[in-house]
Amino acid sequence: MSTLGAYFRLARAGWVMVREGVVAALPGDDLEGPPRLAWRAARLLARNRARKRDRSERIAKAIERLGPSYVKLGQFLATRPDVVGHEIAVDLATLQDRMATFPRAASVTAIEGSIGQPVSALFASLDEPVAAASIAQVHSATIDEGEQTRRVAVKVIRPGVRRRFYRDLEGFFLAAHLQERFIPSSRRLKPMEVAQTLAQTTKIEMDLRLEAAALSEMAENIADDPGFRIPSVDWARTGRDVVTMEWIDGVKMSDVEGLRAAGHDPVALAATLIQSFLRHTLRDGFFHADMHPGNLFVEADGTIVAVDFGIMGRLGRKERRFLAEILYGFIRRDFRRVAEVHFEAGYVPGHHDVAAFAQALRAIGEPIHGQPAETISMAKLLTLLFEVTELFDMQTRPELLLLQKTMVVVEGVARTLDPHFNMWKTAEPVVGTWIAENLGPRGVISDAREGVGAMLSLARQAPDLAARTERLSREINAMAENGLRFDAETAEAIGRAEARHSRWGRAALWVIAISAAVIAWQLV
């Protein structure tokens, strides 16, 4: 039954996209055959008022009708221009995760169920919601501390959001499966893995204890950083469905005139923002991946405070070295070295020619050196880099794409604050320090220390590895002699599952076909 339901939900989502003009707004002039006929039909079926909107407005309206799960899907796909294309990714990046609030009583139920204490024992007051998104909403609250009260922000999960997301997730997986089956060229993008990544990241985001843990981890990382901090967590009032944190009083970074009126220097704030982000990325390998201006506040003393840690990015040591070396290589015009780094990291398959890849990189890098530094975008450089690497069969790297998306957003905020912002000059102290510490003599010593540690760990595991190898060898020999066999019960179960899947698949296709015919008849 769940498979049939997934077909219906996917059909409904497609119909909403058609009616809101999303499909009609996609480029279709170069299509041929049935796809072109379907695109032209979608243009006729779009609502009249939808045709007057631009594409980003059409997408926003369709996703609003489809609900919270599709808001998260849209935001996730904004980080995957390799999947949806650069233009659509830009449109999706403008989605505002703002939804109607839900009653305070539902928040009280969620808080008490998650923490196991009455709200009256936890807070002196719990106000009406001040903001709501697809996953949760935020309340202002106060806590009695003797003669004083402390104001806090209480983030509470939206009722029923997990159940609805898991239900819609079946449709996402079905769409990915159909894409892989009927569009062979899309298999390189691994649609099923994309759906699995969406499922995993959203499950993490819907457990607010993990957001609190992200806050705690980053607080330790940046304890000594100048000009940037994050809210503290109240762990006694935090559970799966609620996280309580310090209330932030400040001016939103989206309010540039408000920042100036408060006496802040937008140019200095832009530099602090970029340098902080690069420290988190290169030094810590752990960064806030949703740093749009609505999530950034400036306190009275000029300190930037980031909120909403539901989406975080991680980079391993190899990815950080890769990022630093390609940036450094482009600055020095050493395109051969940039190409070699891609091959050394295993990102570009070894059967390609390093010299040819270096030539492609030169096509990106040379125009940069003819421009004023303040006009060069690091985010645009990364975008062009990923476009070129696609020609050389570079496999999708979700962690690098998330970094690129965040870089686009952060750099855009900096340029809003300072239209003449020089990304390279601002980044140089952080990038230069990291390169000196990790790619110079100190980096060699650090690598040697890690290598020795790995060898010692391997030596300790040697007896266990030898035993496993011997057991595996015996099992392989047995399989070679006797073949791979299923017992009767397993074979029968596989047969039943396959037959059931085929029946439901045929039934679902008939239902969708009949539904489409009914809809078409009603439109006549």
| Residues annotated as catalytic (active site), given as ranges | 290
436's tokens:
């000196």
Residue 315's alpha-carbon distances to 282, 321, 377, 408, in angstroms, are 8, 10, 21, 17
- Distance separating alpha carbons of residues 67 and 52, to the nearest angstrom: 23
- Distance separating alpha carbons of residues 168 and 172, to the nearest angstrom: 7
Tell me which DSSP letter residue 254 carries: T
3-state DSSP call for residue 419?
Answer: coil
> Contact, 53 vs 21, CB < 8 A?
yes
> Contact, 51 vs 40, CB < 8 A?
no
- Distance separating alpha carbons of residues 421 and 502, to the nearest angstrom: 59
451's tokens:
């290598």
| Residue 17: count of CB within 10 angstroms of its CB | 23
Tell me which DSSP letter residue 282 carries: I
Residue with tokens 């993990």: 210
Q: Which residues of 375-396 are buried (b: 16+ CB within 10 A; e: fewer)?
A: ebbbbbbbbbbbeebeebebeb
Tell me which DSSP letter residue 394 carries: P
Polymer length of the chain? 524
- Distance separating alpha carbons of residues 137 and 243, to the nearest angstrom: 11
